[in-house]
Homo-oligomer: A and B are copies of this chain.
Amino acid sequence: MIHNGPMAEEGTLTSGTHTDVREPIGEEHPICRLRDVLDRVGDKWSVLIMDLLGSGPQRYSELHRSIDGISQRMLTLTLRSLERDGLVDRTVTPTSPPRVDYALTPVGATLSDQVAALIRWADDHREYVARSRGRYDTARDGTP
C-alpha cells in the first residue's frame, strides 16, 4: 500500500523529530518519500526556474523577464520554497536599488540534472505522445 497523503506536515519535517503518527509505510515503496520532489518538479514554475538557473545565476528581474507569464507572487513563492529546500541560494547585494541573485546549490544542481533528463525524455518522445493522443482521440470520435 502506498500512502500518498500529506504524511509529513511542515511541522513534522521542521520540528526535527521524526515522530510518525501514522503506521510505518517506508518499507513497501519509496514513493511516499517522493512527494516532496514530485511537488517540486510538478508545479509549473519550479522546473522552469531550475532549468534557467542551470545555465548560471540569475537576478530576480532576469528570471521574471525570462519566464513568460509568471507573476511576481509566484516567482517569489517558488524561489522561496526552492531556497527553503536548499536547492537555490539567494544572495542579496544591499545596494540601492537592491540586487538579488539566485543560483543553484550543489544539490540543486543535481536535481537540475534530473530535470534536464526529463526534458530530454520529453523531447525524444514528444511526437510519440502526440500521435498516441491523435490515435486515441480519433478512435473515440470516429466510432461513436
Contacts and interface: CB of A to CB of B under 8 A. Distances in A.
Interface of A: 1-5, 10, 13-16, 29-31, 33-34, 36-38, 41-45, 47-48, 51-52, 65-70, 83-87, 107, 110-111, 114, 117-119, 121-123, 125-126, 128-138
A37 B121 contact: yes
- How many monomers of this protein are in the complex? 2
16 contacts: A4-B45, A4-B48, A16-B134, A31-B51, A31-B119, A38-B47, A38-B118, A41-B42, A83-B136, A84-B132, A84-B133, A86-B129, A87-B129, A110-B121, A117-B117, A118-B118
A16 B132 CA distance: 11
Contact of A31 (B48, B129, B133): B48
A16 B131 CA distance: 8
Given A85-B133, A86-B132, A129-B85, A119 B14 contact: no
Nearest to A110: B121
Contacts of A83: 136
